[in-house]
């Protein structure tokens, strides 16, 4: 079944992690093993472009991700906004290079999306990965006015924070609210028609955004706090906000968002894809329908299969969710909505004509 994956950090993997995503997945894993790489997430990759084709992940959201880290305490951080800006441009250049070589296609308009989805139905083996461009946190937006430049480059969705605080406000694992600079940035995001990703907002920032932002919202890779009770997941109230505003929540596959008490480098996967299905069902129950939940796997978002459900080894295992949902009594039309239809509808409404 066709899958629309609403959160993939492809350029981060290719540029920051120096991975050749054109390789077969087994070849990439073997290469990192032969190189003696031992950092968390190495040698256990879950996706490459050929593996995504095998998985029928033919459309989705791909990120620009460059996080501000003024104290130099994280391997994916940059010490200045200007460095974040440069790093995000390097990732954008990667997508453009892969587009020229036929591996991907950026989808900037409703027409682009419609044509790509039609090709997925008629000639699936021939289509590249079609993606909507997103920015995981706004650290690469040096000043609020600069968002217009990124829109011109194709940016159609953005989250403004990540872990901790940044120049625009509080993110995951913080109690901070929005910073003053967030106010003009949110206005410009709304004016341009960019969708705002509520993922990675602190609870306080979430409440403030909910009060002041009138544009379209989504949660690209976001599970329910009911099953894993810490701030990275959404409360029922937050889930209802996104669904009431016509948004979609993408279910993430990182065990830290699925398994209570997960400690990176210590815990072993105990949850299975059934836990993902439980999250899907919870969103459906809160929304009153299956129209507001999809996939936002975040696979290879800085981790590998050592930090995914126990029955997921590669991105192709997302297909197991089809049978799991059917066995739970979901009709085929609802399963199709979860696997691709809801995100296709959302972005057909959000993208410019």
pLDDT score of 76 more than 80: no
Cα 5 to Cα 298: distance, rounded to the nearest angstrom: 8
Name the percent of the chain in helix, strand, coil, to the closest 5. 45, 15, 40
Residue 340's domain is classified under what CATH number?
A: 3.20.20.140
Cα 249 to Cα 319: distance, rounded to the nearest angstrom: 18
Q: Is 199 exposed, middle or buried (0-12, 13-18, 19+ CB in 10 A)?
A: buried
Domain enclosing residue 223, as ranges: 3-350
Query: Residue 183: its pLDDT value, please?
Result: 98
pLDDT score of 71 more than 90: no
What DSSP element (H or E) covers 37?
A: none
Cα 83 to Cα 52: distance, rounded to the nearest angstrom: 30
Beta-bridge partner residues of 166: 169
pLDDT score of 263 more than 80: yes
Average pLDDT over residues 85-101: 98
Query: Residue 73: its pLDDT value, please?
Result: 66
Cut 0.95: pTM above it: yes
Side-chain-side CA neighbours of 274 within 13 Å: the count stands at: 7
* Residue 70 binned pLDDT confidence (cut-offs 50, 70, 90): confident
Domain count, the chain: 1
Average pLDDT over residues 106-119: 98
């Amino acid at each position: 079944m066709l899958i629309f994956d609403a959160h993939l950090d492809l350029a981060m993997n290719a540029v920051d992690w120096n991975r050749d995503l054109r390789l077969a997945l087994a070849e990439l894993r073997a290469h990192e093993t032969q190189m003696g790489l031992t950092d968390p997430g190495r040698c256990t990759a879950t996706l490459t472009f050929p593996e995504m084709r095998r998985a029928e992940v033919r459309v989705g959201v791909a990120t620009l991700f460059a996080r501000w880290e003024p104290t130099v305490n994280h391997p994916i951080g940059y010490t200045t906004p200007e460095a974040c800006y440069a790093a995000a441009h390097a990732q954008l250049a990667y997508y453009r290079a892969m587009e020229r070589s036929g591996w991907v296609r950026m989808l900037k308009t409703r027409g682009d999306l419609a044509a790509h989805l039609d090709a997925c139905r008629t000639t699936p083996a021939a289509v590249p990965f079609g993606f909507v461009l997103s920015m995981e946190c706004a650290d690469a937006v040096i000043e609020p006015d600069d968002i217009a430049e990124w829109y011109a480059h194709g940016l159609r969705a953005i989250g403004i924070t990540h872990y901790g605080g940044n120049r625009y406000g509080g993110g995951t694992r913080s109690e901070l609210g929005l910073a003053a600079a967030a106010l003009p940035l949110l206005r410009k995001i709304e004016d341009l028609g960019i969708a705002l990703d509520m993922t990675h907002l602190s609870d306080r920032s979430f409440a403030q955004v909910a009060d002041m932002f009138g544009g379209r919202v989504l949660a690209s890779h976001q599970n329910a706090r009911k099953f894993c009770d810490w701030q990275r997941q959404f409360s029922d109230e937050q889930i209802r906000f996104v669904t009431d505003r016509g948004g979609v929540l993408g279910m993430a596959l990182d065990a830290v968002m699925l398994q209570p008490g997960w400690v990176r480098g210590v815990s072993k996967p105990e949850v299975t894809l059934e836990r993902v299905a439980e999250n899907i069902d919870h969103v459906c129950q809160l929304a009153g329908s299956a129209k507001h939940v999809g996939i936002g796997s975040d696979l290879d978002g800085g981790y590998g299969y050592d930090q995914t459900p126990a029955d997921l080894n590669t991105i192709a295992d997302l297909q197991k969710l089809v049978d799991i949902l059917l066995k739970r009594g979901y009709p085929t039309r609802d399963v199709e909505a979860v696997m691709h239809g809801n995100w296709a509808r959302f972005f057909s409404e959000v993208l410019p004509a």
